[in-house]
């Protein structure tokens, strides 16, 4: 069981892995001694013990094992006959001893009575037991954090309340006044991933480690032939991963290009099945390399395509092409938090999405007032519209200004630096540009402020449940300036098979923050593998995670 959700361990459980086959091979459950099998539950038949166990399960186990004990991805089911024939004493022994090799820590520190109460409750699971109907709500107990801070005021939230499947919706009417809270400086304390920590996905999804030992893995893009391209930004190189072994690892790894300056965005040109070039968004320029399907190494030197403004903050440069190949989009973030572009010439062509004809690239502004969409831009395969993922401004308080994901209107103004989320003036620019007040566009989906939303994709594969088709999955790198952390997750934005958002989003992949607020993982890039799974780069643990659907 996920006895302590604070650890967010998708494999923290009884480890009922292939329980049926285990019983065929082992006389006792997980080789428990005969003495354990003979131990009786001192609380058997006591309704109070079952009731107490129900609350303990909801508080500590539910987010991994699910409300009905059906399991969640990596965590096996506790029902459907999986526990048939297992003696209570064996279960208690296994909880107490653990199995480190299989991801189950020892829970001897949990009071003995509580261990027996949970055993009592688990014994009621299965056919004919309506155990799920009376469970307390899961969301308020999704993360038993050790941080002593009051709960957030809905619809705002923080990492303690992120839980796969939980839905959030922030509207314009929810925005607080500027400076309702002080602005925090709370950068992530990065730590090595504990052996017991693992990302947590919704029921039916499985999370595996695809690649590890990387160096600052960022943007990801799947080539038409199925190869996975990855920008390792700090060392300045582009990696390629090919194929997938039976245990979910790449069959081949290669360095496609090196010697680049903070590479991030990757796009193939022309769009379609037979690209001739791969374009790279460096901080200071767009370059391209000759490319043909199957190339593991660039066959020629880079070619300069366009200069980009550089320096200051926000160095990521996302690159995307229109479906007809006639437009190249480049997102360039602001150099600052709130500098007035009237008085800071260094902001020229920043906080914009730029566009040019790839055949003769002379950049112009496609949309403006977008503080930083450099983390992600993509064209919707359903509508042909350009979408972006945006880091909004800081220093107005915990719950201002929301980050967002939105489709982008050509010529549209999104507020920065004078306005935000429609007609809300930044108090640091009071009275400036009143003529733009009613031009500031309200984005489609408002996210938690300071989430640091980065790369996203439209899920077009057919391996997830049908309701996921066409939806957005986005990496939220995580806050540095919120009193209690937010983000550090992958979210899902439902598009309702219509290509349009209605404002809500869901937590999808969580668990990258420890109960004390330390951070071991930070999602950045996201792409779809040829088998329909999601690959998520994580520059906190320098890994790539693979999320596949194994449920019904």
The DSSP element (H or E) to which 56 belongs, if any, is: helix 47-60
Q: For the CA atoms of 27, 32, 38, 39, what is the dihedral angle to 10 degrees?
A: -160
CATH number at residue 12: 1.10.760.10
CATH number at residue 426: 2.120.10.30
Tokens of 297: 């190494």
Q: Are 73 and 65 in contact (CB under 8 A)?
A: no
* C-alpha pair distances (Å), 58 with each of 53, 84, 118, 121, 134: 9, 22, 10, 11, 10
In a domain, 532, yes or no: yes
User: What is the predicted pLDDT for the residue at 21?
Assistant: 35
- Spacing of C-alpha 443 from chain mean position: 20
Residues whose CB falls within 8 Å of the CB of residue 343, separated by 6 or more in sequence, listed in order: none
User: What is the predicted pLDDT for the residue at 264?
Assistant: 98
Q: Are 188 and 485 in contact (CB under 8 A)?
A: yes
Tokens of 475: 């990496």
Going by C-alpha positions, the residue among 143, 186, 184 that lies closest to residue 161 is 143
In a domain, 216, yes or no: yes
- Spacing of C-alpha 80 from chain mean position: 31
Going by C-alpha positions, the residue among 425, 450, 449 that lies closest to residue 439 is 425
Tokens of 429: 């620019």
User: What is the predicted pLDDT for the residue at 105?
Assistant: 73
Q: Are 401 and 395 in contact (CB under 8 A)?
A: no
500-521: burial string, b at 16+ Cβ within 10 Å, e else: ebebebbbbbbbbbbbebebbb
Do residues 226 and 108 share a domain? no
Do residues 457 and 411 share a domain? yes
In a domain, 542, yes or no: yes
Query: Which of 101, 123, 140 lies at the terminal end of a domain, its last residue?
Result: 140
In a domain, 55, yes or no: yes
Q: Are 209 and 546 in contact (CB under 8 A)?
A: yes
Cα-based angle 524, 59, 66 (whole degrees, multiple of 5): 65
**In the block, residue with structure tokens 């309340």:** 161
Q: Are 157 and 18 in contact (CB under 8 A)?
A: no
In a domain, 323, yes or no: yes
The DSSP element (H or E) to which 207 belongs, if any, is: strand 205-211
* C-alpha pair distances (Å), 143 with each of 73, 184, 207, 418, 522: 18, 22, 19, 37, 18
Parallel, antiparallel, or unpaired: how do β-strands 328-332 and 205-211 relate? Answer: unpaired
In a domain, 54, yes or no: yes
Query: Which of 103, 123, 140 lies at the terminal end of a domain, its last residue?
Result: 140
Q: DSSP letter at 75?
A: B
In whole angstroms, give the CA distance from residue 117 to residue 136.
16
Do residues 445 and 512 share a domain? yes
Predicted TM-score of the model (pTM): 0.76
The residues with which 440 forms a beta bridge, in sequence order, are: 413
Do residues 129 and 186 share a domain? no
* C-alpha pair distances (Å), 150 with each of 91, 138, 155, 221: 36, 18, 14, 40
Regions of the chain with pLDDT less than 50? 1-26, 63-64, 71-76, 100-102, 127-142
Cα-based angle 377, 380, 385 (whole degrees, multiple of 5): 80
Q: DSSP letter at 13?
A: S
In a domain, 405, yes or no: yes
Do residues 192 and 116 share a domain? no
| DSSP codes, 531-547 | TS-EEEEETTTTEEEEE
In whole angstroms, give the CA distance from residue 299 to residue 198.
39
User: What is the predicted pLDDT for the residue at 11?
Assistant: 35
In whole angstroms, give the CA distance from residue 94 to residue 88.
10
User: What is the predicted pLDDT for the residue at 2?
Assistant: 41
The DSSP element (H or E) to which 168 belongs, if any, is: strand 167-169
Range of the domain at 181: 167-549
Q: Are 506 and 491 in contact (CB under 8 A)?
A: yes
Do residues 125 and 238 share a domain? no
User: What is the predicted pLDDT for the residue at 81?
Assistant: 60
- Cβ–Cβ contacts within 10 Å for residue 405, how many? 23
Residues whose CB falls within 8 Å of the CB of residue 345, separated by 6 or more in sequence, listed in order: none
In whole angstroms, give the CA distance from residue 190 to residue 541.
9
In a domain, 27, yes or no: yes
Do residues 130 and 178 share a domain? no
Longest CA pairwise span in the chain (Å):
81
In whole angstroms, give the CA distance from residue 122 to residue 341.
61
Do residues 110 and 183 share a domain? no
Evaluate the omega torsion of the peptide bond into residue 155 and state whether it is cis, within 30 degrees of 0: yes
| DSSP codes, 438-461 | GGBPPPSEEEEET--EEEEEE---
Structurally, how many domains does the chain consist of?
2
Do residues 190 and 136 share a domain? no
Query: Which of 140, 159, 189 lies at the terminal end of a domain, its last residue?
Result: 140
> 3-state DSSP call for residue 159?
helix
User: What is the predicted pLDDT for the residue at 72?
Assistant: 39
* C-alpha pair distances (Å), 537 with each of 152, 209, 239, 423, 525: 28, 10, 12, 36, 5
Do residues 120 and 183 share a domain? no
Q: DSSP letter at 99?
A: B
Do residues 121 and 206 share a domain? no
- Cβ–Cβ contacts within 10 Å for residue 260, how many? 22
Do residues 188 and 125 share a domain? no
Evaluate the omega torsion of the peptide bond into residue 417 and state whether it is cis, within 30 degrees of 0: yes
């Amino acid at each position: 069981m996920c006895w302590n959700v604070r650890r967010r361990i998708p494999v923290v459980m009884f480890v009922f892995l292939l329980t049926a086959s285990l019983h065929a091979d082992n006389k006792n459950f997980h080789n428990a001694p005969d003495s354990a099998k003979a131990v009786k539950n001192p609380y058997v038949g006591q309704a109070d013990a079952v009731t107490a166990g129900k609350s303990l399960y909801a508080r500590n186990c539910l987010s991994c094992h699910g409300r009905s004990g059906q399991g969640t991805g990596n965590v096996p089911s506790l029902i459907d006959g999986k526990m048939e024939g297992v003696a209570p004493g064996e279960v208690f022994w296994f909880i107490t001893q653990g199995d480190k090799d299989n991801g189950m820590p020892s829970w001897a520190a949990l009071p003995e009575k509580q261990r027996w109460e949970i055993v009592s409750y688990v014994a009621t699971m299965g056919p004919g037991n309506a155990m799920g109907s009376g469970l307390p709500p899961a969301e308020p107990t999704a993360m038993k954090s050790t941080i002593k801070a009051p709960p957030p005021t809905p619809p705002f939230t923080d990492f303690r309340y992120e839980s796969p499947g939980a839905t959030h919706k922030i509207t314009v009417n929810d925005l607080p006044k500027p400076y309702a809270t002080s602005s925090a400086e709370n950068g992530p304390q990065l730590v090595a991933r504990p052996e017991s920590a693992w990302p947590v996905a919704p029921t039916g999804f499985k999370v595996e480690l695809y690649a590890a030992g990387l160096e600052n893995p960022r943007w990801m893009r799947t080539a038409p032939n199925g190869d996975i391209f990855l920008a390792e930004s700090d060392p300045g190189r582009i990696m390629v991963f090919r194929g997938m072994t039976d245990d979910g690892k790449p069959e081949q790894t290669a360095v496609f290009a090196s010697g680049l300056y903070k590479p991030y965005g990757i796009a193939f040109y022309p769009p379609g099945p037979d690209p001739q070039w791969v374009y790279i968004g460096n901080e200071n320029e767009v370059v391209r390399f000759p490319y043909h399907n199957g190339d593991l190494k660039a066959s020629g030197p880079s070619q300069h395509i366009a200069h980009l403004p550089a320096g200051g903050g926000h160095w990521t440069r996302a690159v995307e092409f229109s479906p007809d190949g006639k437009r190249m989009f480049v997102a360039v973030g602001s150099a600052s938090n709130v500098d007035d572009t009237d008085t800071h010439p260094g902001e020229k062509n920043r906080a914009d999405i730029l566009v040019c004809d790839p055949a003769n690239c002379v950049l112009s502004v496609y949309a403006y007032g977008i503080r930083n969409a450099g983390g992600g831009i993509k064209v919707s395969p359903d509508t042909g519209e350009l979408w972006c993922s945006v880091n909004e401004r800081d220093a107005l308080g915990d719950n201002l200004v929301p980050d967002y994901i939105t489709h982008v209107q050509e010529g549209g103004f999104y507020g920065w630096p004078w306005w935000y989320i429609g007609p809300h003036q930044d108090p640091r620019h009071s009275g400036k540009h009143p003529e733009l007040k009613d031009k500031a566009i309200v984005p489609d989906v408002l996210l938690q402020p300071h989430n640091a939303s980065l790369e996203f994709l439209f899920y077009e594969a057919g391996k997830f449940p049908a309701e996921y088709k066409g939806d957005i999955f986005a990496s939220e790198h995580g806050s540095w300036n919120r009193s209690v952390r937010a983000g550090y997750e992958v979210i899902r934005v439902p598009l309702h098979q219509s290509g349009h958002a209605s404002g809500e989003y869901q937590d999808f992949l969580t668990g990258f923050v420890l109960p004390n607020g330390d951070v071991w993982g930070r999602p950045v890039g996201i792409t779809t593998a040829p088998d329909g799974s999601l690959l998520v780069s994580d520059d906190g643990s320098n890994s790539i995670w693979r999320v596949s659907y194994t449920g019904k």
